[in-house]
Structure 1
Amino acid sequence: MIEAAQFVEAARRRGFTWYAGVPCSFLTPFINYVLQDPSLHYVSAANEGDAVALIAGVALGARNERGVTMMQNSGLGNAVSPLTSLTWTFRLPQLLIVTWRGEPGVADEPQHALMGPITPALLETMEIPWEPFPREADGIGPALERAVAHMDKTGRPYALVMQKGSVAPYPLAETEPPRADACAPRTQWLGAPQDGLPARRDALERVIARTPLDSTVVLASTGFCGRELYALADRPNQLYMVGSMGCVMTLALGLSLARPDLHVVALDGDGAALMRMGSFATLGAYGHSNLTHLLLDNASHDSTGGQATVSSQVSFAAIAAACGYASAIEGDDLALVDTLLARSRRDGIPDGPHFARLTIRRGTPDGLPRPTMTPADVKARLMRHIGAA
């Protein structure tokens, strides 16, 4: 058994200062230790996949800093999508600490009866090398060195699988949860019919005009959003997500926290936002004014045939406001994109992310191209552009 400080301080010496995850009783000493060290960063995610995407955002922008994602092995199910289509595809490394509930031969709760035995195979299937979490102090350094070597060589995650009783208890002092004042949602509805709504292209052209290369990063959600942004203007300050649906919010949050000098704009879709709506609460609690969240809502899964979503009965601005965003607006008026991107601390609005939901008409131009660069090359170009390579 080791002390939490022994591992965390050894990890700090190797650049690991960012932590995100969902608690497990095995992880309690780590989380308690990190929470009480103001020089370390811990973000409590709504689910394990969001934590993976957030630390991926840190890896995208941080200079000489690394991140750790912590989860119970049951949460690997929630993390499969970003682990296989975000961190693997874009080569965004992170250290995973996965607890081994239901380890064969160790009595545990019935919900771990299947995940316990298959945990190693699941990691191996996702091409994530793993080893047991060190249970002796002299094993910490070598384990971290192997993890760092793999991450630096491949740009992909490495996992330490933690068995029961690996870390001694560490008490948690009384701490205040992150919170922000709720804003009042606003609307800009013109009552336009479907064929009179703005097109996605109209909104993206305004985003491009208001996101200067030297100070702004634009992250576009998977599907036609990223492809149309690429077709309009392929710029080095842009990243086009593929897969990992719904993760653009927490990817942007991680980048914005790691790089407060940048204005980070997350372009979202209604289907993606509905899929990971818990991320609104995480952004509202931890996000700052350098994070802008624009949801382009055509009430459909446009890139898979136009099947309807349930977004027409959802007030995303009310959700964002209730979750602690600094400002939240929705409507069908294209001008709200300009309003959103003009917001800043100087407006006298409390610190926090800014949100807008613009309803747009369905449909996409024919022959929309896909990026000719690989996702890893798009990421590398962006990292060079912002000085994070």
Structure 2
Amino acid sequence: MKVESFVNNLGAEFFTGVPDSLLKPLCDYLMNTIGISKKHIIAANEGNCAALAAGYHMATGNVPVVYMQNSGIGNIINPAASLLHDKVYAIPCIFVVGWRGEPGTHDEPQHVYQGEVTLKLLEDMNIRTCVISENMTEVQMREIMEDFQIILAEGKSVAFVIQKGALTYDGKIRYQNDHTLYREEIIRHIVQVSGEDPIISTTGKASRELFEIREDNGQGHQYDFLTVGSMGHSSSIALGIALNRPKQKIWCIDGDGASLMHMGAMAVIGQNAPGNLVHVMINNGAHETVGGMPTAAGDLDFIQIARGCGYTYVVSAANLKELDVALKEAKVRNGLTYIEVKSAIGARQDLGRPTTTAVENKKRFMEQLTSADR
């Protein structure tokens, strides 16, 4: 189905969400037609979206649309159950959910279980669902929306679960910024300086690039924990490791979208202030792994935020010289360190994926951590 028809049949005037690769036709269409405005807001996380949508409904009386990958359902459970639900405030919302890990389709390991329980989670929250497939017609969509309008009028929410390839869009959009460093180059320099120190890398292409850099270097993968799912939590994982391995330098490779998703983690890190943790945040101002749509990080001063959260040493780098100086100082320093690296948007077209399983990654990483005691 063409995304234009899908959006027209929703009959909505306000959209908020967190981008998803399966929803790229919708995301690109919204960026081309509405952009970032009062009618379209890319939020920090999906719970943020649900609350924003609630505010919109109360201010206008209209029904909002919240779009997201199914991995974000966990972030909406609380507001969906305790804010939107018809037994609480009865605030209607249309959810548009990209179905990663749909049963019967091949997907990455972090999406498999989430895909299995997607429909059940929505149904358990009393959210009526409709699966949009490639074969869905505009007439069928219109009939479904007629039924959904009755449900929405009762203060209940509904969800369209989008299969891979179900939405199409012919428009083109290019996401870019003015920075010159690319993320893979930045990670390669981190690997050079960190040596055999443990690295915890964030969700998406950062972990894929780290894996391939190790392959290119002829190294094993025991030094790295690849946070292939659980977006926004790599820095908290790194904190848990750093506090319990105080004699080891721990590196966290984070991203701006992930940092925004659960930014409160930075306050907790600063409060605990492990002197052996180096938190490197690669900032390209984009949700690049799922298509390139902008985050709110482009105009955000992460340096001031890190200082305010209690990081001891804070620096921003925009070129390789600045980056190398910051990394080498962090390597020998005793003190909680935050390095923001300004990055361009883009990755190799032939970028591969990890060939080890998630459990294998965890096992080897843990073995390497404990080997430092011997």
TM-score (structure 1 length as normaliser): 0.48
Contact in 2 for aligned 1:336/1:356 (Cα 8 Å): no
Q: What secondary structure sits across from 2:351 in the alignment? A: coil
Does residue 384 of structure 1 match 2:367? yes
For the pair 1:337 / 2:337, whether they are aligned, the reply is no
Residue 329 of structure 1 deviates from its aligned partner by 1.2
Amino acid at match of 1:278: G
Alignment partner of 2:203 out of 222, 242, 250: 222
- Given candidates 191, 201, 207, the residue that maps to 1:208 is 191
Q: Structure 1 pair 387/331, CA: closer, same or farther in 2 (3 Å)?
A: closer
Equivalent positions of 1:1-389 (< 5 A) are 194=177, 197-213=180-196, 216-234=197-215, 235-343=221-329, 352-387=335-370
Q: Tell me, in whole angstroms, the C-alpha distance in 1 between the residues paired with 2:332 and 2:248.
A: 16
- Asked if structure 1 preserves the Cα contact closer than 8 Å seen for 2:282 and 2:342, the reply is yes
- Partner amino acid, structure 1, of 2:327: L
Structure 2 spans left out of the alignment, 5+ residues: 1-69, 75-81, 89-116, 119-175, 216-220
Q: Which amino acid aligns with 1:324?
A: G
**2:280–2:339 CA contact under 8 A, matched in 1:** yes
TM-superposed CA distance for 1:372, in Å, is 0.8
1:212 Cα offset (Å)? 1.6
- Verify the 8 A CA contact 1:325 1:354 in the aligned structure 2: yes
Q: Give the whole-Å Cα distance in 2 for the aligned partners of 1:195 and 1:328.
A: 23
**Aligned sequence identity (%):** 29
Q: Alpha-carbon deviations, 1:258-298, whole Å to 9, x = none?
A: 10111110000010001111111111110222100001111
SS at match of 1:231: helix
Against the structure 1 CA distance between its residues 371 and 310, is the aligned structure 2 distance closer, same or farther, given a 3 Å change threshold? same
Residue aligned with 2:228, SS: coil
Please name the residue that 2:6 is paired with: none
**Conserved 8 A contact 2:179-2:342:** no
Distance in 1, matches of 2:207 and 2:368, equals: 19
What is the Cα deviation at residue 205 of structure 1? 1.1
**Aligned amino acid, residue 206 of structure 2:** C
Give CA-to-partner distance per residue, 1:198-252, whole Å, 9 cap, x none. Answer: 1112111111101122xx1001100000001111114310111111110011100
- Using the alignment, how far apart are the partners of 1:375 and 1:333 within structure 2? 33
The residue identity in structure 1 corresponding to 2:234 is V
**Contact 1:293–1:354, Cα closer than 8 Å, also in 2:** yes
Query: Following the alignment from structure 1 to structure 2, what is the Cα–Cα distance between the partners of residues 209 and 346?
Result: 14
One-letter code aligned to 2:211 = Y
In structure 1, the residue matched to 2:65 is none
Note the C-alpha offset of 1:387: 1.5
Deviation (angstroms), 1:81: 6.8
> Match of 1:227, as an amino acid?
R
> After superposition, what is the alpha-carbon deviation per residue over 1:362-387, rounded to whole angstroms, capped at 9, x for unaligned?
01101211111111100101111122
Opposite residue 341 of structure 2, the aligned amino acid is: L
Distance 1:356 1:382 in 2: 24
Task: Give deviations 1:349-369, integer Å, cap 9, x for gaps.
Answer: xx6410011111101101211
- Pair 81,259 (structure 1): closer, same or farther in 2 beyond 3 Å: farther
- Counterpart-to-counterpart distance in 2, 1:299 and 1:253: 24
Q: 1:352 to 1:263 in 2, by over 3 A?
A: same
Give structure 1 regions of 4+ aligned residues with deviation exceeding 6 angstroms: none
- Structure 2 CA distance, aligned partners of 1:379 and 1:387? 12
Q: Are the equivalent residues in 2 in contact too, given 1:300–1:307 (CA < 8 A)?
A: yes
Q: Which one-letter code corresponds to 2:231 in the other structure?
A: M
Q: Which amino acid aligns with 1:288?
A: P
Going from structure 1 to structure 2, the CA distance change for 1:238 and 1:345 (only over 3 Å counts) comes to closer
RCO higher in 1 or 2 (8 Å CA, sep ≥ 6)?
A: 1
Give the aligned partner of residue 22 of structure 2: none
Unaligned 5+ runs, structure 1: 1-79, 85-101, 103-109, 112-124, 127-192
CA distance in structure 2 between the partners assigned to 1:329 and 1:298 by the alignment: 16
Q: Secondary structure at the match of 1:243?
A: coil
Q: What amino acid sits opposite 2:299 in the alignment?
A: Q
Partner of 2:352, secondary structure, is: coil
